[in-house]
A and B are shown apart, each in its own frame.
Chain A
Amino acid sequence: MAAAPAKQKSKLVGWIDHRLPIFSFMEHELNEYPTPRNLNYWWNYGSLAGIMLVIMIASGIFLAMAYTPHKDMAFDSVERIMRDVNYGWLLRYIHMNGASMFFVVTYIHIFRGLYFGSYKEPRELLWIIGVVILLTMMATAFMGYVLPWGQMSYWGATVITNLFSAIPLVGDWIVTLLWGGFTVDNPTLNRFFSLHYLLPFVIVGIVVLHLIALHQHGSNNPLGIDRKGPQDSIPFHPYYTVKDLFGLCVFLLVYAAFVFYAPNLLGDPANYIPANPLQTPAEIVPEWYFLPFYAILRSVPNILFIPAKLAGVLAMFGAIGVLFILPWLDRSRVRSATFRPLYKWFFWVLVLDCLVLGYVGANRPEGMFLVLGRIATLWYFFHFLILVPLLGVFERPRPLPTSISSAVLKGAAAPAMEK
C-alpha cells in the first residue's frame, strides 16, 4: 500500500518514489488518509491555523528585510515599510492582523476540542502538543509586538518581563537575562527580534509532531465515537480538501476586511507613538488575545504566604497548565458534548467566562471589574479542577449511536451534522 502511489503519473515520479518515497507518503497521508465522513465546519480551523502560520512566516520574512532592530530606528523603519517599501503597508497589515486572525482561529480550534472531547484517549499527546503550540505562539506574538517599539511595545514588554521577577530566588536573574541589561532597552529588542524570527520555525516543527499524532488515530468527529469500518470514512481528498478550501475563502474574506478596511481596529493607538521610557501611558493593555490571561493575572490577591504578584503569575500560567492535565481530569468516556447533557451547558458557561475575562482584562482591576475578574477567574479553575472531574462521575450521558454511518445515514441521531 505504501510502496507505490496508487495512480502513478509518470516514470520520473516512479523513479523518484522508488528512492525517496515522498509521493507515496503524500498519497498515503492526503489522498487515502481515511477521515470520518461526518466532520462539520468546526473541523476547518486546524487547517486554517496551519495556513495562518505560513502567512505569518511569509509576510514576516519580507518585513524583516526592511526592519531595523535598534531602539532608535525600529519605529522609523516600520514607518518606512508603511510608506516607502513597495506594498510594505500591505505586508505589515497582513502580519499585524494576521496575528489576531491566528489567535481567533486557534482559540476556536481549542474550544472545538473542548466541546467534542478531542483531548481524550487516544489523543492526549495530540492535545498536549497543541497546548505547547499555543504557548509558543504566545511567546512569539508577545515578542513580535515589541518590535515596532511603540509606547505599548515598550511598556507591555516592561510589565510582562517584570512578572518573572515574582519567581522566588531566580526571578531577578531571569528578568536580567530577558532584558540583557537592567531595563528594557536595545539588547532586549535585539534578542526579541532574534527569537521572534526563530520561534515560528520551532512552531513548524511542533506542528509536524501535532500532525503525526493526528494521523496515528485520525480525526475525532462530532459524534465522538470511533470509526468502525470503511463505511464510516471517506478519503481526505477530495472531500475535505474542497471543504477546507471553501472554508479558507470565507475566512480570507474576514481577514481581508480587517487588512483593507479596518487595519488598526484591533491595535492600540498608543503603539503609533514612539517608545518613551520616561512616560508611562495612562493604560497599559496587551493585545486582545492576551486579555483573559491579563485579567487572571491582575485578579488574584495575596493567598496565604504567597504575595499577589506571584500568585497572579502562577494563576496565569496555571490557566494554561490545567489544559495540559485536562485529559486526566475528565473522567467521562463519552467524548462529544452532544451526548453529555450537563457538560454541554458548562462548556458554554466556560466560553462566556473566557469572554468575561477578556472584557475585564481591558479595564483597570478596580470596583466592579475586580469583583467580576475574581469571580470569572475562580470559575475558570472551578470548571477544570472540580466540575469536569465530577461531571465525569455523576453525569448520565445520552445513548451513543452505534456507528457514524448509521447516525449519518439515518440523519436523525446526528444533530451536529451539517446538511
Chain B
Amino acid sequence: MRKFALALAGAAALTVGAAQAADEPSLPKVTWPNDGVFGTFDRASLQRGFQIYKEVCSNCHALQHLHYRDLGPGGPGGGIGFTDEEVKALAEQAQVTDGPNDQGEMFQRPGRPYDPIARPFPNEQAARAANNGALPPDLSLITKAREGGARYVFALLQGYTDPPPDMKMGTGMNYNLYFPGHQIAMPQPLSDGQVTFSDGTPNTLTQEAYDIAAFLTWAAEPTLEVRHRMGTKVFLFLLVLTGLFYVVKRKVWAEVH
C-alpha cells in the first residue's frame, strides 16, 4: 500500500503545478528571517516596516485588527520591540472620538495604547471617494489573504512599470506586473528614498518593500514566533514519545510474532 502514498504525493504536485498557470510572472524568491521552522522576526526590520506603514500606507490603508498596545511588550507575541513609553507616545499622536461623557456628548481625546490603530477613513464611502472609487483593503491580514503572502506584497510594491503599448488603461489606473489583471487603482506608493529610516538603513525601494512586507507578515500573525517555538517543543516531545511507544510495542508483540 506504499503506492497509495506515492500517488497522493503525485496528485499534490500536479495541483500545485496547475495553480501557477496564470499570466502574472512568478514571484521573486525572497525569504525573511521569520520563514522556516525556527524562523523569528527581525525586530529592526519590523520597526522600519511600521515606519513605512505610518508614513505612507496609513494615508489610505487601515490596520483594523491591531491596537497600539500590540506593538509593545504586552502585545500578542511580544510586539515589534517598542517599549511601553514608545507605544504610549505613539498612541497619543492620534485623536480619538470617545464618549458620551456625563453631559451626553462625544469628545475628542488623545489615543491610548488600548485603542485600535487610527484608520484613515471613517467608512468605506469616504475611502472610495478619496481613491477614485477604489477601496484600499485593510492590511492587517493581507499577507494571509493573498496567494504568495509576503512575497506577493514585496513584488507588488516593486511591480510598477509602463504598460505595454497595446494595453488600454482605465482612468487613474496603474500598470503592475504582479496584480491580477495588471490594472491597479493604487498609485505606486514606494520608491527609492521614499522614507528616511531612523536607524540609517539604506532606503532603496527593495529595502522598503522588504521591510513593509515583514511588518505586514507580523501584523497578520503576531503570534508566529510563539507558534514556531511551541512547535519545536511539541515535536521533540512527540518524537521521544513515538520512540518510547515503538520500543514498548516491539516488546509487547515479541511473543506474538
* A residues adjacent to B (C-beta < 8 A): 37, 42, 76, 79, 82-84, 89-90, 93, 111, 115, 234, 238-239, 242-243, 245-246, 249-250, 252-253, 256-257, 259-261, 263-264, 269-270, 272-273, 282, 348, 351-352, 355-356, 358-359, 362-363, 419
Q: Are B231 and A355 in contact (CB under 8 A)?
A: no
B interface, size bucket: 35 or more
Chain A residues in 8 Å Cβ range of B228: 260-261
Expressed in whole angstroms, the Cα–Cα distance for A245 and B249 within the complex equals 9
Select from chain A the residue with minimum beta-carbon distance to B220: A272
Q: Are B11 and A89 in contact (CB under 8 A)?
A: no
Chain A residues in 8 Å Cβ range of B144: 264, 269, 272
Chain B residues in 8 Å Cβ range of A252: 238
Chain B residues in 8 Å Cβ range of A242: 245, 248-249, 252-253
Q: Quick one: which of B3, B226, B253 has the most chain A CB within 10 A?
A: B253
Chain B residues in 8 Å Cβ range of A263: 227
Q: Are A355 and B7 in contact (CB under 8 A)?
A: yes
B242 interface hit (Cβ, 8 Å): yes
Q: Are A269 and B146 in contact (CB under 8 A)?
A: yes
Q: Quick one: which of A89, A259, A263 has the most chain B CB within 10 A?
A: A89
Q: Which of A234, A246, A348 is within 8 Å of B245, CB to CB?
A: A246
* B residues adjacent to A (C-beta < 8 A): 1, 3-4, 7-8, 10-11, 14-15, 18-19, 37, 65, 70, 76, 137, 140-141, 144-147, 149, 180, 220-223, 226-228, 230-231, 234-235, 238-239, 241-242, 245-246, 248-249, 252-253, 256-257
Chain B residues in 8 Å Cβ range of A79: 65, 140-141
Q: Which of B18, B231, B249 is within 8 Å of A260, CB to CB?
A: B231
Select from chain B the residue with minimum beta-carbon distance to A83: B76
Chain B residues in 8 Å Cβ range of A82: 221, 223
Expressed in whole angstroms, the Cα–Cα distance for A252 and B141 within the complex equals 28
| Chain A at the B interface: SS class | helix
Minimum distance in angstroms from A305 CB to a CB of chain B: 35
Chain A residues in 8 Å Cβ range of B230: 90, 260
19 more CB-based (< 8 A) A-B contacts, given A253-B238, A259-B231, A362-B18: A79-B65, A83-B70, A83-B222, A90-B230, A239-B253, A242-B245, A242-B253, A245-B249, A246-B249, A249-B245, A253-B242, A256-B235, A260-B227, A260-B230, A263-B227, A269-B144, A272-B144, A359-B14, A359-B15
